[in-house]
Structure 1
Amino acid sequence: MRDLAPAPGSVPPLTGGLADSLFETAARTPTLPMLARRRGPGSPVWDEVTAVEFRDEVVDVAKGLIASGVQPGDRVAILARTRYEWTIFSHALWTVGAEVVPIYPTSSRDQVEYILRDAGCVGVVVEDEQSVMTVGSVCASLPALRHVWQLDAGALEALVARGESLPFATVDSMRRIVLPDSTAVVAYTSGTTGRAMGCALSHRGLASPCDTLIAGWGRTVAPEGEQGAVLAYLPFSHVYGLMVQSLCVRAGLLMAHEPAMTGDALAAALRSFRPTYLYAVPSVLEKIYKNFLRTAQQAGRGALFERAAGTARDFAAALERQRLGRGPGPGFDLRLQHALYERTVYRRLRGALGGRVQRATSGGSPLSRELSLFYEGIGVYVHDGYGLTETSGGLTMQPLGREKSGTVGQPLPGVEIRVADDGEILVRGPSLFQGYVGDGAATREVMRGGWLATGDLGHLDDESYLAITGRKKDIIITSGGKSVAPSALEQRLRMHPLVHQAVVVGDNRPCVGALITLDPEFLVHWRAALAVQGETAAREAREENALREEVARAVAAANSAVSRSESIRVFRVLPEPFDVANGLLTPSMKLRRDEIVRTYALEIDAMYEARSYRRPAQEPPEEPPGWEETESVFLR
């Protein structure tokens, strides 16, 4: 072993279940606003729900669950988008000691059937008629399933009516016997390389990183004296989304829900709700950046935006050197330039996020250093953190006043991180899962003497900052024996506004290649800005040549960060994106690499076969002999 990061002190242990904090807040500050609901579909007006109102609604639903026969230890699935009722239902289930089984609403019929059967769910909460039909089509193979509650058909109201005669004391007595080590959630992994596995997460495990973050970083959520406000839009079906929900409830933050994951819906919700803190994943932050650029270009201010973005990154890098004791900070000229762009550009960019966001957190996958510096430079510092489903979420965070972009921060108090000799990250701490449901062999495979083998690769620097370099199973080994981690190349490719997705390939191939999809919105804008004149056929040919050259520039920019032997030498632009519907993305938006390679096997073969082959006079020994400069192949 090498690179050992010591564990700081931990927060006080949990004494009950996850629902307890809601009841405690309602008793202590009953009028504190905790949830915000839209007044109507698409309305920009949000009505606040106080702590006592939130608690009473949870209690009423819990009564209905008890009257329906739901008992402690029963598992109930929630197959719905991120919405108000998800929060009510989950806390009602935890109140009676039941276990929540989140299912992505985009899951296929087979995936829904597998999870409901594997977890042995006695009930499922669904959103609409389509989900009812999906569950109904597999009910015959689910003997344990007794209840299907449809939110859009008044499920909450029906449960409240059913439990109306039960006294509050019945619910409260059940809540009080929930133990910290009882299972709270069975969260299924994304299944990027095989079947999904159910991770049993305890109340203690889920609360631990939340309470640690609240204690150490809670003051950054809002200016002093203001209540923090968070827009929850990430799927609660993912452990990161669950963390956001628990953080808000346990910290007494005002939480609103946005179920639609479209750019327009999210933008509208940010403007109307005006959160003080933003939770995101890198793909969302990348999309916001590209939207900023596209909007600026459409207004004829593209060059201004790019200069402002460059200044933001330079300013943030200088600030970072200063806080790490490695430089004097931004010089006079840079400060002056930054102040100018603050008045003309940065303030407007923050306004698109609601105008109150000063800090954010990114998770799910590593955030590029360039993007992190950009957001810090415009006045929104993004904390890049790290965690897994098996760890109930967060393991690391950026230390306040010592933030270092390009890393995921340092271990949280109570968490220990090691890096094995082969680069694999091993972790242990209070938030580790209880095991994979019904699969002791798989649990033993990842647990090594109390340490969880994450499958992620990375390294710790001399100050215990962790940097993630990729997934162990994703490493590409070319026919020349060169090992290449694809994530950094893919990350840099996506920074180009035209590039939507990128998958680096090259196992047992003479060089590294890439499959690329284009951002449809930016492509429309790019074609309009290009404004090629002439006959249709000639115009299309010139457009395609220009597009090929632009994507080639994106590839060249990505290659600039790696050695020649690791660089992308061939690429192909695909006609359609990878998505959940075509089975090439997981519900948590992760790439199904093996499936992508299988689906595009013929195209990958053609990409390499189309490459001209010759033996140059001088070629570095690690290079595949005869491969020329990067060549592109477009699919029509």
Structure 2
Amino acid sequence: MLVSGPTIPVEPIASRARTLGDLLTVRAAHTPDRPAMFFKTKAAAGKDHWEGLTWSEMDYRARQVAHALLDLGLEPGDTVAILGPTQPAWCIYDMGAQLAGMVTVGVYPRQAPEQVAYVLEHSDAKVMFVDGTDELKTTLEAVRNNEKLLGIVPWNELSYRANRDQDARFLSPTQFQKGVLDPDRVEAIQTAITPDHTAILIYTSGTTGRPKGAMISHANILAMLPSIEKVFQLYENDLFLSFLPMGHVTERVLSFYFRIDTGVAAAYATSIGNVLNEVKEVQPTVFGSVPRIFEKAYNKVHNQIESQSLPIRTLFHWAGNLSNKRLKYTLEGYNAPLTLEAGYQLANAVIFKKIHDAFGGRIRMFITGAAPISKEILAFFWGLGLPIYEAYGMTEATVLTHMNPAGAPRLGTVGLPLPGLEQRIAEDGEILLRGKTVFKGYYKNDAATQEAIVDGWLHTGDIGSIDEAGYLRITDRKKHLIITAGGKNVAPASIERAIKNQSPLISHVHAHGDRRPYISALIAPSPIETLEWGAARQIIGNEEKDKLVEELMANPQSRSMALNAAMAKIVANKAFRMVFLEAVKAGNHLLARAERVRRYCVLERDFSLEHGELTPTMKLKRKTVEKLHSVLFEKVYDDPNFAIDVEH
């Protein structure tokens, strides 16, 4: 356990700061010796262990970075870019630039050189901090013709020495660990910044064309933090586990800046692939993730139970029934009857504790967003005493706009608007928002800004509804709506969610049918589950399966040629493609007649970043999928022998 001690409420300090730089300075002065972050390193004996930094140590290192940036000739208002994994170094470079009065922009890892080049050029970045051999190669190609960039800083000295001869702009990271910016100079720089100045540039993930740079001001962030404080009750012994990309507004604001505000520590996973192992070591109390990890956990638990003996299955179903009964009282804000509570506590000690232990054993709350999650999965975790709070937000509203309150959640909704935020539904069903957290606009793109903000209202691009108590329910993206040949408006997200939740073999579902006579679906199989299915039937060998699973666990976002080739062998098996028939049928039962899928086909691989079908934040690029697989969709409708028919 990295953090322990009594359960004492935190003392937020955002109200005492004018800028992000101020925020760190105040925090370091307020709780200098409390842990700010933990990271894994090797001891002299070669064994991994967790080390920590206090808030005062982090402030000192950030002031070293600030000193070096100004010493290079950069000025307050200049832009500094950061490309690398979610690690303490990312945070230190970010806050170092903030203390120097600069604007920071995160660049997503594993992008093509032209994508990196666009962000660096468009943002007018002067210095770039970059980690990793592959990312350095990408950066070198991306900055070849960039005359604005003055410095490239590898995160470690070995990378600097190995690459410094390739570009005269390479700078040693040790240069950022020498002098320290004087506190008086920091104060003078921060005083000169107005709260309306841009603090960070967040480039949208670009599901439709070039990404846009959202300008988020100091005032936006410092208005957001007190609103979050009123929703999240944090304690001094809380601990986050951080692994989502820092380039994204969620990890940056909701996790990192909010922790500076509250003084709560985070442990940084060594990689996404190691999260499920390190969560047991770290034992966090707060865990935020996209829905996929909860879907995987849910499916794994149920698959393991179904493979057990009848007595064990019976015991699990007994426990599940108890948790469902108790959950009804929990969601309505009442205590369960004593007999029910006693039975539940027994079930918790015998069965549920193992699931708690899989997440470290100390989880107080899960937080999820960015994509829909099924009500069934939410109810399952809530019933176990592992509440998942579904949230909603967007970059243009400084990350978080809605959250289910702890005392009165409504599963299946994204909750109530944060304090100080107004919401309403436009005539066409679009969700509109207004408040101090609405961003300044898009950098160098007045036309897009005027389209996004009309009469002070942010047009979210999402379709939804508000119930009688003010809870918001999301339907889909406005631009994603399918209009069938019969004139019916259909939300593809509802279709995709209904089918995807029926089988762990499904990674993604893409519903298609605009101007078509009926809805069809393209199913992308889930890699690990597909490999296991194929190995069990000797379509691929166990050695090949184990090697590819190990590759996926090390880098869950990777889709190598070897993996795609192995999956293609399995998908070619007709029995595998027919496995999805029951999932589609079950999903159809949850849908209106116009929404039901009549034919489907299975892609021979998963959707991937490599093929351009997913954004760096793993959102589906619908237009790219439609274009890339246009021939396949035509065959679904024109070739009666190609796709699989679904009986209604």
TM range (shorter): 0.7 to 0.9
What residue in structure 1 maps to residue 176 of structure 2? 160
What residue in structure 2 maps to residue 227 of structure 1? 237
Q: Of 524, 530, 533, which residue of structure 2 is paired with 1:523?
A: 530
The aligned amino acid for 1:40 is K
Deviation, structure 1 residue 132 = 2.4
Q: Of 499, 502, 512, which residue of structure 1 is paired with 2:509?
A: 502
CA offsets 1:94-147 (integer angstroms, 9 cap, x no match): 111100111101221111011111111111111123322222223243221101
Deviation, structure 1 residue 316 = 6.1
What residue in structure 2 maps to residue 368 of structure 1? 374
CA offsets 1:257-299 (integer angstroms, 9 cap, x no match): 125222xx01122111111111111122212323334555677
What residue in structure 2 maps to residue 107 of structure 1? 111
Taking structure 1 as the reference length, the TM-score comes to 0.86
State how 1:14-29 maps to structure 2 within 5 Å: 15-29=17-31
The aligned amino acid for 1:128 is G
State how 1:101-140 maps to structure 2 within 5 Å: 101-140=105-144
Q: 1:200 aligned to 2:215?
A: yes
- In structure 2, distance between residues paired with 1:309 and 1:523: 30
Deviation, structure 1 residue 342 = 1.5
The aligned amino acid for 1:461 is D
What residue in structure 2 maps to residue 248 of structure 1? 259
State how 1:390-409 maps to structure 2 within 5 Å: 390-409=396-415
- In structure 2, distance between residues paired with 1:531 and 1:64: 59
User: Unaligned regions of 5+ residues in structure 2, if any?
Assistant: 1-12, 161-170, 540-568
Deviation, structure 1 residue 353 = 0.6
- In structure 2, distance between residues paired with 1:400 and 1:501: 31
CA offsets 1:588-633 (integer angstroms, 9 cap, x no match): 10001111111111111112223489xxxxxxxxxxxxx996169x
Contact 1:369 1:406 in 2 (8 A): yes
Q: Structure 1 residues 540-549 or 148-157, which shifts more?
A: 540-549
Describe the shift of the 1:250–1:295 C-alpha distance in structure 2 as closer, same or farther (beyond 3 A).
farther
Q: 1:448 aligned to 2:454?
A: yes
- In structure 2, distance between residues paired with 1:542 and 1:491: 22
Contact 1:516 1:574 in 2 (8 A): yes
Deviation, structure 1 residue 307 = 2.9
SS in 2 for 1:39: strand
SS in 1 for 2:205: coil
Describe the shift of the 1:343–1:112 C-alpha distance in structure 2 as closer, same or farther (beyond 3 A).
same
Describe the shift of the 1:552–1:131 C-alpha distance in structure 2 as closer, same or farther (beyond 3 A).
same
Q: 1:586 aligned to 2:615?
A: yes
SS in 2 for 1:235: coil
- In structure 1, distance between residues paired with 2:178 and 2:151: 14
SS in 2 for 1:45: strand
Q: Structure 1 residues 346-355 or 62-71, which shifts more?
A: 62-71
Describe the shift of the 1:43–1:342 C-alpha distance in structure 2 as closer, same or farther (beyond 3 A).
farther
Contact 1:65 1:159 in 2 (8 A): no
Q: Of 585, 596, 600, which residue of structure 1 is paired with 2:629?
A: 600
- In structure 2, distance between residues paired with 1:315 and 1:131: 51
- In structure 1, distance between residues paired with 2:318 and 2:179: 59
Q: 1:275 aligned to 2:275?
A: no
Deviation, structure 1 residue 306 = 6.9
What residue in structure 2 maps to residue 535 of structure 1? none
The aligned amino acid for 2:22 is D
Q: Of 237, 241, 246, which residue of structure 2 is paired with 1:236?
A: 246
State how 1:50-199 maps to structure 2 within 5 Å: 50-153=54-157, 157-161=173-177, 163=179, 167-199=182-214
- In structure 1, distance between residues paired with 2:409 and 2:194: 36
The aligned amino acid for 1:322 is E
Contact 1:311 1:338 in 2 (8 A): no
State how 1:17-56 maps to structure 2 within 5 Å: 17-40=19-42, 45-56=49-60
The aligned amino acid for 1:160 is F
- In structure 2, distance between residues paired with 1:330 and 1:156: 61
- In structure 1, distance between residues paired with 2:131 and 2:571: 48
Taking structure 2 as the reference length, the TM-score comes to 0.85
What residue in structure 1 maps to residue 646 of structure 2? 630
CA offsets 1:165-198 (integer angstroms, 9 cap, x no match): x644333432343332211111011111121100
Contact 1:125 1:148 in 2 (8 A): yes
Q: Structure 1 residues 53-62 or 154-163, which shifts more?
A: 154-163
What residue in structure 1 maps to residue 558 of structure 2? none
- Compute the RMSD of aligned alpha carbons: 3.0
Deviation, structure 1 residue 336 = 6.2
Deviation, structure 1 residue 487 = 0.9
What residue in structure 1 maps to residue 350 of structure 2? 344
Deviation, structure 1 residue 61 = 1.5
